[in-house]
């Protein structure tokens, strides 16, 4: 009851008193794990769940709690496995089905994720979070009508939940007599009690709705207000962000790239890099339509691979004065580890794409770790790119996109770094593809991309819109 009232510290004290009387009380250990998780004391929560499971290996609730921690701490594959154990014991854990769906989505297993959402909704048809999450997955799969159905049902159940309206604006065009616009405007007139996050969703939802009905002035007014709120919550260090891009340019001069050439792992992934909203998804879809290519989407594998190196090895990467044998070994270790992780994601694929756009800053490292990798740099008119970035509420950490000055300065720094890579890399490594050229002459640009990746041409690359992924 204390937990339900939000009095978490008092609740934890009561659980500890219960465990002092009965140390092997599995239910109390599970409750303690839930409380510690809510208090963001994750390592202690893990220990409590583990203790409950040791006493009762078939404690489905504690297994689900442990799985939730695995997901929170970035171990999606482990989370999926533990959720499977929990649901095999108790298939009626509604929340477990819902969160397992999100885990499966992150593992690029969307059909299994949809089935898991349906399992949650079969148990609880009015489960708004599951309806919302299912709607967003359906949007990713391009199934807009089904997404709209799920999200509109969620709004019927919880009409005051602002994020649902924002999600709905992603998958449908609003009309002038749209009742959802009136609902959003009504919420905008009484913002008391709404969190800053809700106010951000409200502004971006209204911006999209007004843009749909051709009211550009009000749309931009809402965008400006939403971006200001979002920027006000962001701990963005512009000097550090721009300085890092400049440091990468200095750490990988042409002479160093040449001296360490060929040191890495021989596998040949395809990296698609650039600014957000630059046409990368189109290039990814063209490549994914080739029968020999598997597209992983926006992966964090490279970042995770580097993070797992020892501090000493990481220090060698950016130190251009580091001894060549030691530096070459560090880059080789990255390439081998990245290739092993990629093989787990797509074990049967001949070639694999990685569309983590921010990898543009890591191109020097990528080339030395994976010298046979090919890099496709997608570009778009700078003003179109920046305005499109500004108009979007990104889910990640693209904190530079919510202020025009910061966005413009970041784009300039990105442009300087890409010009450096273009001059410093062997000509065969990177290909620059303009969005405007691709939409103007698809076949010519698609053939350039396929050829640079060392693949035979396949006409299915022109029918990318028919590729189901």
Q: What is the pLDDT of residue 304?
A: 83
SS3 state at 158: coil
Pairing of strands 293-295, 374-379: unpaired
Query: Is the separation of the CB atoms in 362 and 334 below 8 Å?
Result: no
Q: How far apart are CA 327 and CA 365, in angstroms?
A: 11
Residue 308 has pLDDT above 90, yes or no: no
Band of residue 347 on the pLDDT scale cut at 50, 70, 90: confident
**Mean pLDDT rounded to a whole number for the chain:** 93
pLDDT digits (tens, 9 = 90+) for 238-293: 999 999 999 999 999 999 999 999 889 999 999 999 999 999 999 999 999 999 99
Q: How far apart are CA 263 and CA 260, in angstroms?
A: 6
Mention every residue, 6+ apart, whose C-beta is less than 8 A from residue 174. Answer: 180, 181, 208, 209, 212, 213
Residue that is written with structure tokens 């004391």 in the block: 41
pLDDT digits (tens, 9 = 90+) for 158-167: 999 999 999 9
Question: Which long-range contacts link 153-160 to residues 24+ away (Cβ below 8 Å)?
Answer: 154/128, 155/180, 157/126, 157/128, 157/131, 158/128, 159/183, 160/187
Interior angle at CA 374, CA 342 and CA 293, nearest 5? 55
Q: How far apart are CA 428 and CA 371, in angstroms?
A: 11
Q: What percent helix, strand, coil does the chain show, rounded to 5?
A: 65, 5, 30
Residue that is written with structure tokens 């919420």 in the block: 187
Over residues 200-204, mean pLDDT: 96
What is the share, in percent, of the chain residues with pLDDT greater than 90? 81
Q: How far is CA 376 from the centre of its chain?
A: 20
Exposure string for 277-304, b = 16+ CB within 10 A, e = fewer: bbbbbbbbbbbbbbeebbbbbbbebbee
Correct CATH for 248-466 of 3.40.50.300, 3.40.50.2300, 3.40.50.10330, 3.40.50.720: 3.40.50.300
Q: What is the pLDDT of residue 89?
A: 97
Q: How far is CA 304 from the centre of its chain?
A: 13
Q: How far apart are CA 378 and CA 422, in angstroms?
A: 13
- Domain ranges for the chain: 126-233, 248-466
Q: What is the pLDDT of residue 346?
A: 81
Cα–Cα separations (whole angstroms), residue 74 to 3, 39, 98, 459, 467: 26, 18, 17, 38, 29
Number of H helices, E strands in the chain: 24, 5
Q: What is the pLDDT of residue 310?
A: 80
Band of residue 300 on the pLDDT scale cut at 50, 70, 90: confident
Band of residue 370 on the pLDDT scale cut at 50, 70, 90: very high
Q: What is the pLDDT of residue 236?
A: 92
Q: What is the pLDDT of residue 466?
A: 84
Q: Which of 15-19, 54-58, 393-397 bottoms out in mean pLDDT, i.e. has the lowest?
A: 393-397
**Burial class of residue 372 in the structure, from the number of CB atoms within 10 Å of its CB (0-12 exposed, 13-18 middle, 19+ buried):** middle
Q: What is the pLDDT of residue 323?
A: 87
Over residues 99-115, mean pLDDT: 92
User: What superfamily in CATH does domain 126-233 come from?
Assistant: Tetratricopeptide repeat domain (1.25.40.10)
Band of residue 322 on the pLDDT scale cut at 50, 70, 90: confident
Residue 192 has pLDDT above 90, yes or no: no
Query: Is the separation of the CB atoms in 453 and 374 below 8 Å?
Result: yes
Residue 356 has pLDDT above 90, yes or no: no
Q: How far apart are CA 161 and CA 99, in angstroms?
A: 19
Q: Return the closest-CA partner of residue 90 out of 68, 58, 120, 117.
A: 58
What are 58's two structure tokens? Answer: 């078939």
Q: What is the pLDDT of residue 188?
A: 94
Q: How far apart are CA 216 and CA 13, in angstroms?
A: 55
Residue 151 has pLDDT above 80, yes or no: yes
Residue 187 has pLDDT above 90, yes or no: yes
Q: What does residue 425 show for φ and ψ, rounded to 5 degrees?
A: -85, 155
Question: Which long-range contacts link 30-36 to residues 24+ away (Cβ below 8 Å)?
Answer: 30/59, 30/61, 30/62, 30/65, 31/3, 33/62, 33/65, 33/66, 34/3, 34/65, 35/3, 35/8, 35/11, 36/12
Band of residue 467 on the pLDDT scale cut at 50, 70, 90: confident
Q: How far is CA 122 from the centre of its chain?
A: 28
């Amino acid at each position: 009851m204390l937990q339900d009232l939000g009095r978490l510290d008092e609740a934890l004290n009561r659980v500890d008193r219960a465990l002092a009387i009965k140390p092997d009380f599995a239910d109390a250990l599970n409750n303690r794990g839930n409380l510690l998780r809510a208090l963001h004391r994750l390592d202690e929560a893990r220990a409590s769940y583990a203790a409950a499971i040791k006493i009762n290996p078939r404690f489905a609730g504690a297994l689900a709690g442990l799985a939730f921690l695995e997901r929170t701490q970035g171990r999606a594959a482990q989370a999926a496995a533990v959720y499977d154990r929990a649901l095999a014991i108790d298939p009626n854990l509604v929340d477990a089905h819902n969160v397992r769906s999100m885990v499966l989505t992150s593992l690029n297993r969307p059909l299994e994720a949809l089935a898991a959402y349906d399992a949650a909704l079969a148990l609880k048809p009015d489960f708004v979070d599951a309806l919302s999450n299912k709607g967003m997955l359906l949007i990713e799969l391009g199934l807009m009508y089904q997404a709209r159905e799920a999200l509109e049902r969620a709004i019927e159940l919880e009409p005051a939940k602002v994020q649902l309206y924002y999600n709905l604006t992603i998958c449908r065009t609003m009309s002038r007599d749209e009742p959802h616009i009136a609902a959003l405007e009504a919420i905008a007139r009484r913002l008391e009690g709404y969190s800053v996050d809700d106010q951000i969703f409200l502004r971006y939802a209204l911006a999209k709705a007004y843009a749909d009905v051709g009211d550009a002035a009000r749309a931009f007014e809402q965008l400006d207000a939403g971006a200001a709120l979002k920027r006000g919550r962001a701990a963005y260090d512009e000097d550090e962000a721009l300085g890092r891009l400049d440091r990468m340019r200095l750490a990988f001069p042409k002479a160093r790239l040449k001296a360490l050439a060929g040191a890495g792992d021989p596998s040949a992934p395809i990296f698609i890099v650039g600014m957000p909203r630059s046409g990368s998804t189109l290039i990814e879809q063209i490549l994914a339509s080739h029968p020999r290519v598997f597209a992983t989407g926006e992966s964090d594998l490279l970042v995770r691979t580097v993070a797992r190196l020892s501090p000493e090895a990481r220090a060698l990467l950016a130190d251009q004065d580091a001894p060549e044998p030691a530096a070459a070994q560090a880059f080789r270790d990255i390439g081998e580890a990245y290739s092993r992780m990629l093989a787990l994601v797509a074990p049967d694929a001949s070639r694999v794409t990685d569309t983590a756009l921010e990898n543009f800053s890591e191109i020097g490292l990528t080339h030395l770790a994976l010298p046979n990798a090919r890099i496709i740099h997608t570009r778009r008119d700078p003003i179109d790119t920046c305005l499109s970035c500004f108009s979007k509420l990104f889910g990640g950490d693209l904190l530079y996109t919510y202020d025009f000055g910061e966005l413009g300065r970041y784009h300039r720094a990105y442009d300087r770094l890409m010009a450096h890579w273009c001059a410093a890399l062997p000509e065969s490594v990177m290909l620059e593809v303009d969005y405007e050229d691709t939409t103007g002459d698809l076949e010519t640009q698609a053939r350039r991309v396929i050829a640079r990746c060392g693949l035979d041409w396949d006409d299915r690359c022109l029918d990318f819109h028919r590729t189901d992924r």
